[in-house]
Structure 1
Amino acid sequence: MAVGTGSGVVGAEVPVLAGVPVLGSLFELKSDSLGTYLRAQQRHGDVVRISAGPPGLRAELYCVFSPEGAQQVLASESANFRKDNPFYQEVRDSFGNGLLTSQDEDYLRQRRLVQPLFTRRRVDGYAGAVAAETASVLAGWEQAPGGIVDVSEQMMRLALRAVARILFGTDVEATVDVVDRCFPVITEYVLRRGYSPANIPRSWPTPANKRAAAAMDELYAVCDKIIGERRTGAGDGAGTGSDGPGEDLLTLLAAAKSSDDGEFDASELRDQVLIFLLAGHETTATSLSFALHLLARHPEEQSRAREEIARVLGDRTPQAADLDRLPYLTQVLKEAMRLYPAAPVIGRKAVAATEIGGHAVPAGADVILAPWVTHRHPRYWPDPDRFDPERFAPEAEAGRPRYAWFPFGGGPRACIGQHFSMLESVIALAMILRTYEFEAVDTDIPVSAGITLRTDGPARCRVRRVDG
């Protein structure tokens, strides 16, 4: 049946995922949101409405699962889909109004100031810092009890240390412990509030509000201290984020300015730092963890990757130029990011009524994209749950729509750090696989959608040095 939206847009009525009386699919989404989105696509196709919550507080989610729909929302009609939902507001209130959360002129100004710091040449200069932190993490595996390491925990540590070193230079130790302690408290708070039908004010002195406020105060304080020292030249942190003096990212951010956009003040600098810490370590850690987990379960693919690494690198430390020389390792990483995208769900709000995939989407609708589902779409990914790096051979990639795989988002708000993420991941994987063989201990790793994809339990592997 064709329906109108009141704005002249006509399209088929969006099919609805069946839920329970009164609360709809609320409990399904709370217990297994990723599985719920998959079932919605399997039962009803590429545009599905999911209702969740009691009358008066009910959320109506318009879920879009096709590559063409993702391209429309993120790229061709991106101006019509904003980051105005409650979840993004909670992230904004906790981690600041940086590139991930800002909008309109704020976002454009920030992007113009930050973009020169993320050119390929600039990012390639951080390869040495990534290699150093990877070597440091690997050194600790010699004493792993029983030769077993939790790759999820270890890759989170590696990614955090790498991004902290690149951001802060020699001030790594001052930040890593605080971030490691405070981020879980804040992210749990954001998730609980972001997906709740109603919230009490943050200012009320409840135990949860006080715990979150204390964690934010501690995190903000350490960032503000380093920023203050850096801007006055009193700190000694600059100089080890990359290959040259004064080249860590915070120093560059503090110096970024233009005649049109001015420069970042202290609070704006902190917002960018917090967003880079959040997005820059959790996403890369997810990709690395699952690449190792999948290789541990697939010894033939692991051996093939190791053979390529040995042939290309020998015993030398990998450099940025090696990314193009390690095509199979890159395919492994891309396939891991297909099966386990770090951003499994992306939310937007429609400004005006529109039509997606022949279905009417009203103005004000909460629109959900789910890379978790699109990356398993059987039309583009045969046997979608099978690990197969050959899906990303050049000829295979050329035959698929652009948005059949979009772990970094897309359009004008595509992740500014995607080259850094690939650089870090390929260098780290190359060093890890050259040093250790992996055998999976935990073969089934449950996951859930937080701010990023997260494991709900350990991802343990038995490791053995390649040289015996």
Structure 2
Amino acid sequence: MHPEIQDKARQEVIDVVGDIERGTPAEDVPYPTADQERLLTYLSCVIKEVMRLYPSVTLVPQRFTTAPVTLSDGTSLPIDTLISGDIYSMHHSKQVWGPDADEFKPDRFLASVGPDGEIPMHPGASNFMWTPFGGGQRICLGQQFSLVEQRVVLSMLLLRYKWTIVGDENALKGNPGTLPGGLLHSAGLQVKLTRRDV
């Protein structure tokens, strides 16, 4: 499960939040303050890359066009055309993300770190190419809460544990399945948490 990426994210958390002593009880593991959480740049990249490759929701709900529409590539859609956005395919598009689109590379998001430390989405996101929360007027209201919560929880887990896949690397092979409603899941995937030797 990418131990080098775990180590890099863990070191960032240690640098920002501080490390823990061996045997620290779970309830005493520090969680990042709001100011510290914003400094977890690399962890944010990891989260965005996971959500790019494995968005929870894979499809935008279907809609019918209410007027004729011409897309940016010149494609014309007549009135009453059934349309839907395929988030999974957009997030795996080699045209947008490059020839390594199917590879787990959190560093692809580092190229767009701003001077204030914020991480703007990958440049393709300005054209709705990174859309695990949707986009535009219908973007998920919980996007920022979710991203903050993921950084806080993952930072606490990284301080306390290393995680590995149960079985060999083949456990990660294959395509994840979808549940009714287009929710992505990995059936049968088991993760082992091992306490860190601090």
TM range (shorter): 0.7 to 0.9
1:336 aligns with 2:50: yes
Post-superposition shift, 1:401? 4.7
Over 3 Å counting, the alpha-carbon distance change for 1:456 and 1:407 in structure 2 is: closer
Matched with 2:172 is 443
1:377 aligns with 2:77: no
1:460 aligns with 2:185: no
Amino acid at match of 2:82: D
Over 3 Å counting, the alpha-carbon distance change for 1:381 and 1:323 in structure 2 is: same
| Ranges in structure 2 where 5+ consecutive residues have no aligned partner | 21-29, 114-120
Over 3 Å counting, the alpha-carbon distance change for 1:328 and 1:456 in structure 2 is: closer
Matched with 2:105 is 388
Amino acid at match of 1:311: D
Q: How many residues align?
A: 172
1:248-299, Cα deviation, whole Å (9 max, x unpaired): xxxxxxxxxxxxxxxxxxxxxxxxxxxxxxxxxxxxxxxxxxxxxxxxx211
Matched with 2:14 is 310
1:402-429, Cα deviation, whole Å (9 max, x unpaired): 1121111111111111111111111111
Separation (CA, whole Å) in 1 of partners of 2:194 and 2:15: 20
Matched with 1:427 is 152
More helix by share: 1
Post-superposition shift, 1:449? 5.0
Question: Map of 1:358-369 to 2, 5 A cutoff?
Answer: 358-369=74-85
Give yes or no for contact 1:340–1:453 (8 Å, CA) kept in 2.
no
Matched with 2:27 is none
Post-superposition shift, 1:433? 1.3
Post-superposition shift, 1:379? 1.4
1:326-385, Cα deviation, whole Å (9 max, x unpaired): 000000000000001112100222111212231221211110101101111111212111
Give yes or no for contact 2:45–2:106 (8 Å, CA) kept in 1.
yes
Separation (CA, whole Å) in 2 of partners of 1:443 and 1:401: 27
SS at match of 2:134: coil
Matched with 1:411 is 136
Separation (CA, whole Å) in 1 of partners of 2:182 and 2:162: 28
Separation (CA, whole Å) in 2 of partners of 1:343 and 1:332: 18
Over 3 Å counting, the alpha-carbon distance change for 1:363 and 1:414 in structure 2 is: same
1:400 aligns with 2:124: yes
Amino acid at match of 1:451: G
Give yes or no for contact 1:344–1:449 (8 Å, CA) kept in 2.
no
Aligned equivalent of 1:349, options 64, 73, 90: 64
Over 3 Å counting, the alpha-carbon distance change for 1:450 and 1:426 in structure 2 is: farther
1:199-222, Cα deviation, whole Å (9 max, x unpaired): xxxxxxxxxxxxxxxxxxxxxxxx
Separation (CA, whole Å) in 2 of partners of 1:401 and 1:418: 14
Give yes or no for contact 1:351–1:364 (8 Å, CA) kept in 2.
yes
Over 3 Å counting, the alpha-carbon distance change for 1:440 and 1:398 in structure 2 is: closer
Give yes or no for contact 2:67–2:78 (8 Å, CA) kept in 1.
yes
Question: Map of 1:103-122 to 2, 5 A cutoff?
Answer: none
Separation (CA, whole Å) in 1 of partners of 2:124 and 2:185: 29
* TM-score, normalised via structure 2 length: 0.79
Question: Map of 1:71-90 to 2, 5 A cutoff?
Answer: none
SS at match of 1:302: helix
Separation (CA, whole Å) in 2 of partners of 1:354 and 1:417: 30
Post-superposition shift, 1:317? 2.1
* TM-score, normalised via structure 1 length: 0.35
Amino acid at match of 2:37: L
Amino acid at match of 1:422: L
Give yes or no for contact 1:447–1:456 (8 Å, CA) kept in 2.
yes
